[in-house]
Amino acid sequence: MPKVSICIPTYNGGAYLGETLDSVSAQTFADFEVVIVDDCSTDDTLAIAEQYVAGERRARLIRNEVRAGSSARNLSRCAEEARGEWIKPLQQDDLLSPDCVAKMVDAGERGPLVFGHHGYAVSAETGGEVRRFYESLPTLGVELPMLYASPDEVCSAFMRKPFVNFIGSWSTSLIRRDCIQKYGTFHKTIIYFPDLEYWMRVGTNEGMSIVPERLSTYRVHGRSVSASIRRDPLYHLRGGLEWALLAFLIARDPRYSRFREFALRWDPPFDGERAFLEQLLEWRWDALEASHRKRDRTLLEAFNLFCERNPELRDALREQDRQMPAWRRLKQFLKARV
């Protein structure tokens, strides 16, 4: 079995996939396999991947018969197919330095969740606002300037920068297989920040081993998943609902129990239970108001669909409604229609 499985979920990534695969084959560490799972691409992604597999004996290509529909779900499929002791996720348009895998495997001696620093390759057509957004993000080197961060140090960093991904995309990571067996894979209904949620879920329990060198390059361009998210007209609603889901996981998922207790001791304390309910109620109110006052059901339909896909949130909201005094429910009902 290979030491490392480099997992690359793909969907319509033909513009950059060839360069990404070249950076994989250039690794100084040789004991790896490449698992490419294509999510029914309609461009030349499949042809590029097939050509690569034909010339790279360590590579395998799998094509989904039915679309997974998100990078997180597709990456989970990659991990299921992987055989290595370590899982190295890689986005279809990112680049690895030649010594990336070698240095991350060495750092794995310190712990089962490894991160390296990363840089950006910003395309020429990228607007100034987007460029400034990435340039202003906090970084792993500033928040955790060490070779190993204990679980409590990771908890502290996430409380200092709440809900901010200062670590980077999954291309910055190396994950030992037993972490996936213990904590699961990437959350399948979180679209906007599945990487951040996973770093919180695992890192606050296992700590983080860190290579303080730039080992990967994150591409910023108009065809990326993050760019398509920014163009979504319901960006704020869907992003807000996913933050509510993350707060719900912190409040109730047993894998977050350590972080939950830490957050409640923080000054000021963070109460995930209160946070997710406040967020849900606020977004539901906005959706109802748009539906009744503006005759626009777009927000309400998106809200209901999110709840259908996350029934644990829907059930929590219904329980909150049942506990609400009848006079208050009636007041909210009438107010939405005035």
Divide the 338 residues of the chain into consecutive groups of 10 and give the mean pLDDT of each group.
96 95 98 97 96 97 92 92 97 97 98 96 82 88 97 98 92 96 93 94 98 96 69 85 96 98 97 94 89 85 94 92 69 51
Are residues 200 and 64 located together in one domain of the fold?
yes
- Determine the pLDDT at residue 310: 95
CA distance 190 to 197: 8
Tokens of 102: 């070698």
- Determine the pLDDT at residue 338: 44
Q: Which residue range forms the structural domain that includes residue 68?
A: 4-226
Are residues 298 and 159 located together in one domain of the fold?
no
DSSP 3-state assignment of 6?
Answer: strand
Are residues 106 and 154 located together in one domain of the fold?
yes
* DSSP 8-state code for residue 57: T
Are residues 144 and 81 located together in one domain of the fold?
yes
- Determine the pLDDT at residue 61: 97
DSSP per position, 134-162: HHHS--HHHH--SSEE-HHHHHHHHHHST
- Determine the pLDDT at residue 132: 84
Tokens of 35: 């698992």
Q: How far is CA 173 from the centre of its chain?
A: 12
Are residues 198 and 263 located together in one domain of the fold?
no
Are residues 200 and 240 located together in one domain of the fold?
no
Are residues 100 and 170 located together in one domain of the fold?
yes
Domain boundary among the residues 226, 250, 284 is at: 226
Q: Which residues have CB under 8 Å from 42's CB, separation 6+?
A: 12
Ramachandran region of residue 126, left (φ > 0), alpha (ψ -120 to 50) or beta?
beta
Are residues 21 and 152 located together in one domain of the fold?
yes
- Determine the pLDDT at residue 32: 98
- Determine the pLDDT at residue 246: 97
CATH number at residue 179: 3.90.550.10
Are residues 54 and 164 located together in one domain of the fold?
yes
Are residues 62 and 171 located together in one domain of the fold?
yes
Number of domains the chain is built from: 2
Are residues 251 and 205 located together in one domain of the fold?
no
- 172 within 8 A of 115, measured Cβ to Cβ: yes
Domain boundary among the residues 226, 259, 281 is at: 226
Domain boundary among the residues 226, 245, 260 is at: 226
Tokens of 187: 């959350």
Are residues 191 and 244 located together in one domain of the fold?
no
